[in-house]
Structure 1
Amino acid sequence: MSATHEVLNQAPPLTAFTTADDPALLEALRRDGAGWGEEQVRDLGALAGSEEVQEWSRQAEEQPPRLRTHDRHGHRIDEVEFHPAWHRLMTVAVEHGLHAAPWAEERSGAHLVRAAAFYVWSQAEPGHGCPVSMTYAAVPALRAQPELAAVYEPLLTSRTYDYGLRPPLGKAGLIAGMSMTEKQGGSDVRANTTQAVPAGDGSYLITGHKWFTSAPMSDVFLVLAQVPGGTSGAEAGGGLTCFLMPRVLPDGTRNRMHLQRLKDKLGNRSNASSEIEYDGAVAWPVGELGRGVRTIVEMVNMTRLDCVLGTAAGMRAGLRQALHHTTHRRAFGAELADQPLMRNVLADLAVESEAATVLAMRLAAATDRAQAGDEQEAALRRLGLAVGKYWVCKRGSVHAAEALECLGGNGYVEESGMPRIYREAPLLSIWEGSGNVAALDVLRALVKEPAGLDAVLAEADAAAGADARLDAATARVRAALSGLVDPQRAQLGARRLAEEMALVLQGSLLVRHSHPAVADAFCASRLGGDWGNAFGTLPTGTDLGPILERARPKDLV
């Protein structure tokens, strides 16, 4: 009998690697004063690449959460059940402080270390990054109401993952969710119709329907609702207001927030997203009445940082898979990774990945400095987050598609892990404002906070004279800003402007901090125009060797 099923010319399983084997990431830690966190990041990266955690990731993805609205006696319970693998992933994330540790630490570089740890760990399984990210983002928003922050912040920053339906103040640690979007408004939260009426004891009763509530299994939520206007006192400040809503009330009864259904999503399958009906649910105001958008914007900025980080992490994960497969796969008499056209594709993917990583890490470093009172860094962060959210997250989908294609038909099979990376990428471009919302936010920031433009241009000018193509691109950005005088023209050009600003920021960072071959390839293709419309079209003569050597994890060498 002939051996028809002998396995030949297939890549071995990609396990027992480390997601922290990433020069751009580690260099950013050392460069911006956060080298003290490198050991933690390395330990977490090794855990993320372990066979055990890869199995947790598979289980959490293949066995998604289930909604149980009622118990067997007909009582509403509104509970979401998860596979144990989800809770294991969450436990690691919380114990390593990815959810909120920087807010409880005074150490310089805490946000950058947390960003690097989030980057390496989310490569294992991105879905659970949603509640982790929202908890991180909830803390600064909650500080708009100091008396609530004093009670809840120690629990939100606790490194104990304590899941289950119990009164939040009796738990050892809390996870936060977000409930803003309504079906009639989407990103236009000012169109929300959910109502909040005073209960007479300082709390409010919330009634309405939320179309997309992230992580409904969380302990507390930041919710937007309309407060009726009045003629005097606090009620005079009616309008859209931010509220803190617990899932379980202090007396142990369940708050009147009813889960209608879980969303059947394209990706992010391990995480629960839901529609929620509020029927007189109890909540407490956060910040000024009628200033809900202003209160929530800090939460949005923090989650946007994690959108950029998550996209960069997805790019790195896809690149790793492509490098691994092509290193072990032969075609037409040679390893795929050694064939000229494939080398160009891999190098191009590596350049895009590193450009995303350096920008994400720079924005995290700006967060540290902004928290320390540096106004220029705060301005850079504000505009840079909108710019990075627009461009990096939009590039995630095309990067995932090309990385998947490097595996051919193998990449289209679920077992490869590539479909999960591919499905996850569009989420990060949509969450916290899709492309148009992010691009319009760039325009808004330029008009309302001109210091942000000065900070971005100063960052670009830090590399002035080092590369003529970068200098020319920076000049184009300055010229494009003249179009902001006409609002309609400005809106039509908003995407182009956001893209060019992102590319200039990435180019400046790579020219100053990366390997010269990476910077040259980026400037020649992304800024110099010597590039096609697909990956794998880096200019002839590009020095691909150093790019691939820098990108290739050590276990593949």
Structure 2
Amino acid sequence: MPPSTHTVTNQAPPLVDYDVFSADPALAEGVARHVAPERAEEVRAELSALGRTAGSAQAQEWGRQANANPPVLRTHDRFGHRIDEVDFHPAWHRLMEQAVGAGLADPWSRPDGQLRRSAAFHVWTQVEAGHGCPVSMTHAAVPALRREPELAAVWEPLLTSHTYDWGLDRPAGAKRGALAGMGMTEKQGGSDVRANTTRATPLAEEGTYTLLGHKWFCSAPMSDVFLVLAQASSGEGEGGLTCFLVPRVLEDGTRNAFRIQRLKDKLGNRSNASAEVEFDGTTWARRVGEEGRGVATIIEMVAATRLDCVTGSAALMRQAVAQATHHAAHRSAFGRPLIEQPLMRNVLADMALESEAATTLALRLAAAHDSAADGGEGAEAERAFLRLALPTAKYWVTKRCVPLAGEALECLGGNGYVEESPMPGLLRESPLNSLWEGSGNVQALDVLRALQRSPESLNAFLTETGRAHGADHRLDAAVKDVLTQLSDLDGIESRARRLVERMALVLQGSLLVRYAPPAVADAFCASRLGGDWGAAFGTLPSGPDLTAIVERALPAV
């Protein structure tokens, strides 16, 4: 006989079988706002289809399995040959097939490409974030390769392919699709890539070199090709830090010398492989860009991956809020549903504001990328805007992900703390984007460099925020505060974080005042800009309509 006490009641059903895209008004409305009207229905249908797949039980199980079965390094085959391969669980490959097939590595082939891709990245990252790393770098490698048309002719069709063609058994010419990775960081330098010691020695063929050195963090070492930085010697003196393309398989089908020393045992991002790699002096490489111009060559790749850091963090926050509001709508305590209790409603609304502000900002940056790339009227202004807005957003949005994920987990109580819940995985993943492509100090200093070297970027930033001038007195006062901080350059570096935080909040506030429902904009400005906000989530002032904010964030299943 079954145990008489084992009756399950008052438990929330799993958040499954729903449309991740359509259930997120901030995302759906943002896409509709920025996409060309004649393509709006096509894009909505495309993202909704991906959203239904992302919300399916099957996709969620793939995400669980990929993290429960992390990649395994195989340095040698059974005969003793060096192969340096990484084995992945089949669920990883299913996730990659869906991501590549949905065009997450290809913003280049269609109008509104970056907006469409970023929205899809936002949707699909909510299934599982780790496999987003190779997808992100693959898409970001294309602008750097375009500096060498001969290389781009070979690799761009493969990197932008919608076919996931796994394996290091063939050279590039025999594949239908390829993945790209990146190797910049070294043990002794970290973010200071100019301290790199990897050496590049020229070969007889123009533009070809051999590499000798190491990379402390090599992302996605199972990829087909890598962009790496090394110190080049032209034979007539020091060439300086230079960008190189390193294929895993050479044109004749032999394997390049790419020695994977070990896989990193990471806090989160466990489905994805990150490695330490060695170049043994015979590693073949092709120069990308000019000698000594490595940072300038690879900077567009960094900018594209920084956008994905913002979008990825916004996606993690959205999934955390979706899980928390869904749980609170179905769980009762003290005689009524959690979602109806004033203090819990305040917590949920506060997190919902953070999530919507992050999503709205990420989509604005994606739209700016499209406008900057099309070369039309306003392209220069959008490029200037991105120069300042991108590191500002990267600094703030990625930092807000960690406390929000922790608060959302707390909303589920003990149910959120066990590994059967998605919440521990979200919490472990939440710090990653604040580290990748430059930590908080790197972003804050980059903002200062932009202010110093590109004054047009501040003009573009102020033009953007100025579009909401007069709509909210707290926003107007915050803009004045930013200008006051900028007028005092004494000790500006030590105050950089405070400045960048304020700039990010002003930018988010200006977007919400223009585009979000009044309840959302009012609560954001009152708390983030008006000063009526505590250190923890759940300290919103009593004035705004918190019920409307929570209902907007609650995923309709």
TM interval, shorter chain, is over 0.9
For residue 285 of structure 2, give the secondary structure of its aligned residue in structure 1: strand
TM-score with structure 1 setting the length: 0.96
- Give per-residue Cα distances to partners, 1:313-354, cap 9 Å, x unaligned: 000000011011111111111111111000000000000000
Match of 2:86 in 1: 80
For residue 401 of structure 1, give the secondary structure of its aligned residue in structure 2: helix
| Residue in structure 2 matching 1:174, options 168, 171, 178 | 178
- Give per-residue Cα distances to partners, 1:37-92, cap 9 Å, x unaligned: 11111110110000110111111010010000011111111000000111111011
For residue 416 of structure 1, give the secondary structure of its aligned residue in structure 2: coil
Match of 2:4 in 1: 3
Match of 2:187 in 1: 183
| Residue in structure 1 matching 2:544, options 542, 551, 556 | 542
**Are 1:168 and 1:220, in contact at CA under 8 Å, matched by a contact in 2?**
no
| Aligned-pair CA distance for 1:545 | 1.7
**Are 1:48 and 1:121, in contact at CA under 8 Å, matched by a contact in 2?**
yes
**Are 1:315 and 1:396, in contact at CA under 8 Å, matched by a contact in 2?**
yes
For residue 510 of structure 1, give the secondary structure of its aligned residue in structure 2: helix
**Are 1:404 and 1:411, in contact at CA under 8 Å, matched by a contact in 2?**
yes
Superposed, which structure 2 residues align to 1:145-294 within 5 Å?
A: 145-165=148-168, 166-202=170-206, 203-231=208-236, 238-279=239-280, 280-294=282-296
Match of 1:363 in 2: 365
User: What is the rounded CA distance, in whole Å, between the counterparts of 1:230 and 1:451 in structure 2?
Assistant: 40
For residue 205 of structure 1, give the secondary structure of its aligned residue in structure 2: strand
Superposed, which structure 2 residues align to 1:106-505 within 5 Å?
A: 107=111, 109-165=112-168, 166-202=170-206, 203-231=208-236, 238-279=239-280, 280-373=282-375, 374-484=379-489, 486=490, 489-505=491-507
- Give per-residue Cα distances to partners, 1:411-435, cap 9 Å, x unaligned: 1111111011001110011000011
| Residue in structure 1 matching 2:48, options 24, 30, 42 | 42
| Residue in structure 2 matching 1:53, options 56, 59, 72 | 59
User: What is the rounded CA distance, in whole Å, between the counterparts of 1:223 and 1:430 in structure 2?
Assistant: 19
User: What is the rounded CA distance, in whole Å, between the counterparts of 1:394 and 1:549 in structure 2?
Assistant: 25
| Aligned-pair CA distance for 1:169 | 2.1
User: What is the rounded CA distance, in whole Å, between the counterparts of 1:495 and 1:331 in structure 2?
Assistant: 40
Instruction: Give 1:287's aligned amino acid.
Output: G
| Aligned-pair CA distance for 1:31 | 1.3
- Give per-residue Cα distances to partners, 1:424-470, cap 9 Å, x unaligned: 11001100001101111110111111111111111111000000000
Higher mean C-alpha deviation, range 312-321 or range 450-459 = 450-459
Fraction of identical pairs, as percent? 65
For residue 125 of structure 1, give the secondary structure of its aligned residue in structure 2: coil
User: What is the rounded CA distance, in whole Å, between the counterparts of 2:393 and 2:163 in structure 1?
Assistant: 32
For residue 16 of structure 1, give the secondary structure of its aligned residue in structure 2: coil
| Aligned-pair CA distance for 1:482 | 1.6
For residue 474 of structure 1, give the secondary structure of its aligned residue in structure 2: helix
User: What is the rounded CA distance, in whole Å, between the counterparts of 2:95 and 2:492 in structure 1?
Assistant: 44
**Are 2:202 and 2:234, in contact at CA under 8 Å, matched by a contact in 1?**
no
Is 1:66 aligned to residue 79 of structure 2?
A: no
User: What is the rounded CA distance, in whole Å, between the counterparts of 1:483 and 1:444 in structure 2?
Assistant: 16
Instruction: Give 1:78's aligned amino acid.
Output: D
User: What is the rounded CA distance, in whole Å, between the counterparts of 1:265 and 1:483 in structure 2?
Assistant: 41
User: What is the rounded CA distance, in whole Å, between the counterparts of 2:18 and 2:48 in structure 1?
Assistant: 11
Q: How many residues align?
A: 545
Instruction: Give 1:89's aligned amino acid.
Output: L
**Are 1:61 and 1:269, in contact at CA under 8 Å, matched by a contact in 2?**
yes
User: What is the rounded CA distance, in whole Å, between the counterparts of 2:215 and 2:140 in structure 1?
Assistant: 20
Q: Which runs of 5+ in 2 are unaligned?
A: none
Instruction: Give 1:86's aligned amino acid.
Output: W
- 1:291–1:377 CA distance, 2 compared to 1 (3 A): same
Runs of 4+ in structure 1 deviating by more than 4 angstroms, as ranges, are none
| Aligned-pair CA distance for 1:104 | 2.6
User: What is the rounded CA distance, in whole Å, between the counterparts of 2:479 and 2:528 in structure 1?
Assistant: 13
**Are 1:196 and 1:205, in contact at CA under 8 Å, matched by a contact in 2?**
yes
User: What is the rounded CA distance, in whole Å, between the counterparts of 2:98 and 2:364 in structure 1?
Assistant: 25
For residue 431 of structure 2, give the secondary structure of its aligned residue in structure 1: helix
User: What is the rounded CA distance, in whole Å, between the counterparts of 1:334 and 1:415 in structure 2?
Assistant: 26
Is 1:29 aligned to residue 31 of structure 2?
A: yes
- Give per-residue Cα distances to partners, 1:203-237, cap 9 Å, x unaligned: 10011011000000000000100012554xxxx67
| Aligned-pair CA distance for 1:483 | 2.7
User: What is the rounded CA distance, in whole Å, between the counterparts of 2:396 and 2:183 in structure 1?
Assistant: 26
Instruction: Give 1:127's aligned amino acid.
Output: G
- Give per-residue Cα distances to partners, 1:509-551, cap 9 Å, x unaligned: 0000000000000000000000111000000222112111211
User: What is the rounded CA distance, in whole Å, between the counterparts of 1:211 and 1:440 in structure 2?
Assistant: 23
For residue 201 of structure 2, give the secondary structure of its aligned residue in structure 1: strand
User: What is the rounded CA distance, in whole Å, between the counterparts of 1:169 and 1:24 in structure 2?
Assistant: 42
Higher mean C-alpha deviation, range 200-209 or range 265-274 = 200-209
| Aligned-pair CA distance for 1:33 | 2.3
User: What is the rounded CA distance, in whole Å, between the counterparts of 2:25 and 2:244 in structure 1?
Assistant: 42
User: What is the rounded CA distance, in whole Å, between the counterparts of 1:363 and 1:339 in structure 2?
Assistant: 36
User: What is the rounded CA distance, in whole Å, between the counterparts of 1:546 and 1:327 in structure 2?
Assistant: 14
**Are 2:202 and 2:210, in contact at CA under 8 Å, matched by a contact in 1?**
yes
Instruction: Give 2:397's aligned amino acid.
Output: V
User: What is the rounded CA distance, in whole Å, between the counterparts of 1:197 and 1:11 in structure 2?
Assistant: 61
Match of 1:18 in 2: 19
Instruction: Give 1:552's aligned amino acid.
Output: L
- What's the RMSD between the two structures over aligned residues? 1.1
**Are 1:229 and 1:239, in contact at CA under 8 Å, matched by a contact in 2?**
no
- Give per-residue Cα distances to partners, 1:256-302, cap 9 Å, x unaligned: 01000000000000000000011121010001110000011100000
**Are 1:103 and 1:139, in contact at CA under 8 Å, matched by a contact in 2?**
no
User: What is the rounded CA distance, in whole Å, between the counterparts of 1:354 and 1:508 in structure 2?
Assistant: 13
Instruction: Give 1:62's aligned amino acid.
Output: A
| Aligned-pair CA distance for 1:6 | 1.6
Instruction: Give 1:99's aligned amino acid.
Output: A
**Are 2:202 and 2:233, in contact at CA under 8 Å, matched by a contact in 1?**
no
| Aligned-pair CA distance for 1:146 | 1.5
User: What is the rounded CA distance, in whole Å, between the counterparts of 2:14 and 2:317 in structure 1?
Assistant: 19
Is 1:104 aligned to residue 106 of structure 2?
A: no
| Aligned-pair CA distance for 1:498 | 0.7
Higher mean C-alpha deviation, range 164-173 or range 241-250 = 164-173
| Aligned-pair CA distance for 1:383 | 1.1
